[in-house]
Structure 1
Amino acid sequence: MQVQKIDTFAGHRDCVYTLDAGASPTEFFSAGADGLVVRWQLDKPDLGTLLARIPASVYALAFDPEQQQLWVGQNYDGIHIIDPVQKQEVRSAQITSAAIFDIKIVEGFAWIALSDGVLVVMDVAEFVVKKHLKVSDKSARSIAINPVSREVAVGYSDNGIRIFDLDLRTLKKIIPAHANSVFTVQYSPDGRYLLSAGRDAHLKVWEVTDQYSPQNDIAAHLFAINHICYSPDGALFATCSMDKSIKVWDAGTFRLLKVIDRARHAGHGTSVNKLLWSPYHQQLISAGDDRLISVWEITH
């Protein structure tokens, strides 16, 4: 496996916490502690377009491809909807005074994870809250959708994962998953596995078709794992960590293939917070506390 750093996008004035893909394979969005929401193009490096200035940290972005709108979760002030073309806010809703840690949009509904443990489900078209799901007093940190099993997995700061029914929006299962907060959950593209990781630095694999039975427990990083991301072809996945490294894994065998760090690849000098694997030349995008967004070409 070969890894080459293609570009570094600079422009954020503080830690970058979140990334999401845009309307085209080359487009993506970023946001973080500086409240700046920026659009980037992979084929036009470092030509970032400022879409919004949010007066608080942004931990969650979600682009809705159907409405062509960007959902921004503002810390302590709810949801803001931005039209990326017009570069203006079109809607906002103060659904909470808690921090928003994740947003996933699926089949006309937005699932939103909050720091007070509430999971909010909003109707995208009507822009109204349809359901509050509170099954923990600790933060809901990460959401993953499995369209195959029709389930939603949510990782919490109480060390557990909850599985919800996507259609009924009811709790189906509780998994006592980790020794500490669960920061990231991700289903495999075929829906067979759920991957989870968090503050305990362990990567865990759960077999969805076998009642979420544990399949693997890997001491994957030195410090907290912030995010897991699959490659577009599903053959690989990557993890990023507070230990400043990105690791690339074989999705079939869960074998470690590559470590991307500062010493070997001029990687991030601080915590790596978020990953996004683009279909554009299979480029892997990473964002960190060093205010930088790096783009990696990975040939396997």
Structure 2
Amino acid sequence: MNVRKSKELAGHAGPIYALFPGRSEGHVLTASGDKFIAEWNLDEGVASPFSVKLEEAVFSGYFHEEKQLLLAGTASGNLHVIDLQAKKELRNLAVHKKGVFAIIHIPQENWFIIGGGDGFISVWDDAQFELIRHFKVSDFKIRSLSLVDEQLAVTSGDGFIRIFDLPWLNEQNAINAHEGGAYCAVKHPNKPVLISGGKDAHLRFWHLDDFSEIRNIPAHNFGIYQIKFSPDGTKALSASRDKTLKLWNSEDFGLIERIERPKYPAHTHSINSILWLDNNQFVSAGDDRKIKVWNIDESLESRD
């Protein structure tokens, strides 16, 4: 198995904090410290004409295809809701007192859940964007939100992963997971296991029956910002502040490839976000303001 960079796109004037699916196939959206959300045509390797300029750095974003809504979470804690068909902003929701770092849609409840740098979670109905719940989770920033079966996993800067039931949002478990901060947590697609990454640069594996730790991999040199599984669940990626991407076999989490300089034309600064396009293609972006598209050729042996 081999990895190669197929495209590199540039245009942002600030760090890229978030990558998320674009308005059509072959397109991605990026949220940046330069106050823009931009769209990129990956097939042609160019920026799309579409972009949205806000008044401050954008930390997070979400595109709701069915409703044609773009959500943007900013550095001050505001959530902007933009109707792309009408080409106008519907709402500017000022609930969080610090940056919005995480946005997740819960379709079965018709909710958007937002995680703020103030340690609060806010819950909004996805039609009128009326506030349903607003409550404190931690004294530290909320870093990520993810679904774990019928529950919600919340990571925060105090190092804990907290598990809430749905739809009641009662706290079920609190896992003291990562010293210095828990940055991300995702459910394994094929196993009853939650995998987390944090400031300690470790990947930690938790059994969903009792959330006991069953494995620990010292995976990176600095904090792990994201973990993402390929659509077919056979591979996983981790992205780190250490400028490195790691590609893993999701069955046993054996390392397939370490993507870093000088072996690869990789990132020169922290990698903040990753996105799978299909089972053998993914995108990465970070503080170097670059968007890189990577292809996996499974017919070739690893370069190691």
- TM-superposed deviation, 1:226: 1.2
- TM-superposed deviation, 1:84: 4.1
Task: For 1:40-119, list aligned pairs within 5 A.
Answer: 40-84=40-84, 87-107=87-107, 108-119=110-121
Query: 2:111 is matched by which residue type in structure 1?
Result: F
> How far, CA to CA, are the matches of 1:85 and 1:283 in structure 2?
30
- Name 2:280's counterpart in structure 1: 282
- Name 2:253's counterpart in structure 1: 254
Q: Name the CA shift for 1:85/1:109 in 2 (closer, same or farther; >3 Å).
A: same
Q: Name the CA shift for 1:195/1:84 in 2 (closer, same or farther; >3 Å).
A: farther
> How far, CA to CA, are the matches of 1:77 and 1:193 in structure 2?
32
Asked if structure 2 preserves the Cα contact closer than 8 Å seen for 1:160 and 1:181, the reply is: yes
Q: Pick which of 190-199 and 255-264 moved more.
A: 190-199
Query: 2:67 is matched by which residue type in structure 1?
Result: Q
| TM-score w.r.t. length of structure 2 | 0.93
Query: 1:266 is matched by which residue type in structure 2?
Result: P
Q: Which runs of 5+ in 1 are unaligned?
A: none
Task: For 1:198-209, list aligned pairs within 5 A.
Answer: 198-208=198-208
> How far, CA to CA, are the matches of 2:161 and 2:253 in structure 1?
21
> How far, CA to CA, are the matches of 2:19 and 2:47 in structure 1?
16
Asked if structure 1 preserves the Cα contact closer than 8 Å seen for 2:81 and 2:92, the reply is: yes
Asked if structure 2 preserves the Cα contact closer than 8 Å seen for 1:232 and 1:282, the reply is: no
Q: Name the CA shift for 1:211/1:222 in 2 (closer, same or farther; >3 Å).
A: same
Query: 2:200 is matched by which residue type in structure 1?
Result: D
- TM-superposed deviation, 1:120: 1.0
> How far, CA to CA, are the matches of 1:36 and 1:201 in structure 2?
30
Asked if structure 2 preserves the Cα contact closer than 8 Å seen for 1:51 and 1:84, the reply is: no
Query: 1:298 is matched by which residue type in structure 2?
Result: I
Q: Deviations over 1:129-162 (max 9, x none)?
A: 111131311111111112xx30000111011100
Query: Of 276, 297, 301, which residue of structure 2 is paired with 1:299?
Result: 297
Report % sequence identity.
34
- Name 1:130's counterpart in structure 2: 132
- Name 1:211's counterpart in structure 2: 210
Task: For 1:223-262, list aligned pairs within 5 A.
Answer: 223-262=222-261
Secondary structure in structure 2 of the residue aligned to 1:265: coil
Query: Of 145, 148, 152, which residue of structure 1 is paired with 2:147?
Result: 145
Within the alignment, does 1:31 sit opposite 2:31 as a pair? yes
| TM-score w.r.t. length of structure 1 | 0.94
**CA RMSD, 1 decimal:** 1.6
Q: Deviations over 1:94-124 (max 9, x none)?
A: 2223210110112121111111110111111
Q: Which runs of 5+ in 2 are unaligned?
A: 299-304
Q: Name the CA shift for 1:175/1:96 in 2 (closer, same or farther; >3 Å).
A: same
> How far, CA to CA, are the matches of 2:262 and 2:207 in structure 1?
35
Asked if structure 1 preserves the Cα contact closer than 8 Å seen for 2:96 and 2:120, the reply is: no
Secondary structure in structure 2 of the residue aligned to 1:79: strand
Query: 1:142 is matched by which residue type in structure 2?
Result: S
